[in-house]
Amino acid sequence: RESLVVAYTVAGTRDALVVTAGQVPLMKKHGLPELENLNGRFRGWPPAKIYSWAREELFGQCNRSAIVWAGGDCHNAMKPGVMDFGVSNRAFFTDLDTRVESADEYPLATEILGEMEGDFLVMGWHSYCKDYEHTFTTLASSHGGRVHGLNTNPNLSFMTHVKLPANYTFKNNHSPGLEWERPEQRESSRSDSSSSYAVDKEVFITLVQTDGLGLGAWNKEGRGVLPYAWEVMMPDLEIQPVLLEMFYEQATPNDTFVAALSGPGYIYPKAVPPSILPSRLLATERSMRTLDLHHLVAFDASATHGEHTVTGDTTLSESVVRQYFQLNRTDINGFLNGYGPTFTNVYDSASNRSLLSFDYYLDPERSVDEAVADIEMLAQLNKRRPYFLPIHVREWSTVMKVEQIMAKLNPATYEVVPIDRFFRLANQYHTFLTRYT
């Protein structure tokens, strides 16, 4: 398998195609010469030795702005959807173990990432049989990289060359009467009761789908029946903006887009060197402005141990939260944190903005009645009113199923609201306790 991964690196540096031995006659028939034969070259070598060879022989010819982790499926399987992008960009390909415990592979992985440049992209995905999402993303973040998964992301070598229509402007959906406020307007709404929202419900819910656009529920039944927020991964603006155009044009009035995940790509802000985190967040701010995004979802599992990325410590430090609150007060009205439930909740009085963590994760295996009971229990445990309940909906749950859950909640107590109204209320009442860990 490693020889195939190395072959993709060779292909990028030689403007070549990767083929199997059985395809060689076809290549010769069409006048394409054989440039390199890796069959048997690395037989018996461990992965660290193979990728050390590739680093010595090929890395100097590679682009330092993108690297591809050829993971996901492993052993004798590979789903190389992203490989065409890597080859066309002369990227270095690898599949090294990102766990610190890997004495042979981890040091080489960190050395290679340490030689990348700028806010480089880490395309592809970690290997499911080697390491974990949180070790992979922590290592990339610690070198200033931006993860943009997955390994199955297809046809990017073509999509990256398709341009937006001339003068195209991304326009997100906003709640009626909530066109974007300047910070002085938010300050006025905080101090002037005449402009405040009256609260007629005890619990306000906002729904956010996990894992970005293109997975799960977007094309399934029910989209548009409930206010829903959909995570937009920032690198798509530079890699395939026409894909985002498609989603923006397909959106119903109940579909709102939010920035993800943590920054200008999937990053763990606690793992990013403090000297460069501000510049990464400023890049996020610029992309959010272009995409008309006014809320950002953060997630950081760099303190997680073991194999379960989303159920470990995903809190944010006070210093990281302060960095988020330094972002543009004019354009960004609120922040969410986590994947499963976590505990960082902060109201920033200086800018009248809030960062709230997800209190509930809707597992697709959870039945409608079980989810209703869970939400009602959370409302009982969180007694301050109004209670603000952000729900992270796993992408495999359909909007129709979520609508069935919401329909079973008492409408005199619960209301599902768009994310902009949710934060408008949270910033006004901020009934949650400030907490970081």
pLDDT tens-place values along the chain, 437 residues long: 999 999 999 999 999 999 999 999 999 999 999 999 999 999 999 999 999 999 999 999 999 999 999 999 988 899 999 999 999 999 999 999 999 999 999 999 999 999 999 999 999 999 999 999 999 999 999 999 999 988 999 999 999 999 999 999 999 999 876 654 544 554 555 444 434 566 889 999 999 999 888 667 899 889 999 999 999 999 999 999 999 999 999 999 999 999 999 999 999 999 999 999 999 999 999 999 999 999 999 999 999 988 778 888 999 999 999 999 999 888 899 999 999 999 999 999 999 999 999 999 999 999 999 999 999 999 999 999 999 999 999 988 899 999 999 999 999 999 999 999 999 999 999 999 999 98
User: Which pLDDT score is estimated for 78?
Assistant: 92
Q: What is the pLDDT of residue 124?
A: 97
Kindly report the length of the chain: 437
Give which of 117, 29, 11, 108 is closest to 67, Cα–Cα: 117
Spatial distance between the Cα atoms of 129 and 282, rounded to a whole number of angstroms: 35
- HSE-CB at 233 with a 13 A cutoff on CA atoms is 22
pLDDT computed for residue 285 by the predictor: 97
Residue 310, pLDDT score: 82
Select from 73, 54, 45 the least CA-distant residue to 7.
54
What is the structure's pLDDT at 194? 39
Q: What is the pLDDT of residue 329?
A: 84
**What's residue 193's pLDDT?**
41
pLDDT attached to residue 98: 98
pLDDT for 303 equals 96
